[in-house]
Amino acid sequence: MSKKRVLFVCVHNSARSQIAGAFLKQIAGDRFDVESAGLEPGKLNSLAVEVMREIGIDISQNKTKSAFDFYKQGKRY
């Protein structure tokens, strides 16, 4: 059985979509291929990194990505 693909999108891919992706990976990463992206990728929000670290999830090495790059690659989510 193949994993379902999930793409979380927000404006800058700096906090909300990063957090959502990290939670889904933590909870059900064995069942889902999880990515996050933004419409206008920015810089990873240090407060998001700090909040996730407080609950034991490290997103400090995550990179921001463009949602349009996934579209160009032809990936279906």
The domain containing residue 61 runs over which residues?
4-72
Letter string b/e over residues 59-74, b meaning 16 or more CB atoms within 10 A of that residue's CB:
beebebbebeebeeee
Is the per-residue pLDDT at 1 higher than 90?
Answer: no
CATH code of the domain containing 60: 3.40.50.2300
Is 77's pLDDT higher than 70? no
Q: Is residue 77 part of a domain?
A: no
Number of domains in the chain: 1
Confidence of residue 41 (pLDDT cuts 50, 70, 90): very high
Rounded to the nearest angstrom, the gap between the alpha carbon of residue 12 and the centroid of all alpha carbons in its chain is 11
Contact 11, 38 (CB under 8 A): yes
| pLDDT tens, residue by residue, 46-57 | 999 999 999 999
Quick: pLDDT tens for 65-76: 999 998 877 766
Q: E strand or H helix at 26, and its extent?
A: helix 16-28
Question: Cα separation of 66 and 47, whole Å?
Answer: 21
Tokens 């700090």 belong to 50
Confidence of residue 42 (pLDDT cuts 50, 70, 90): very high
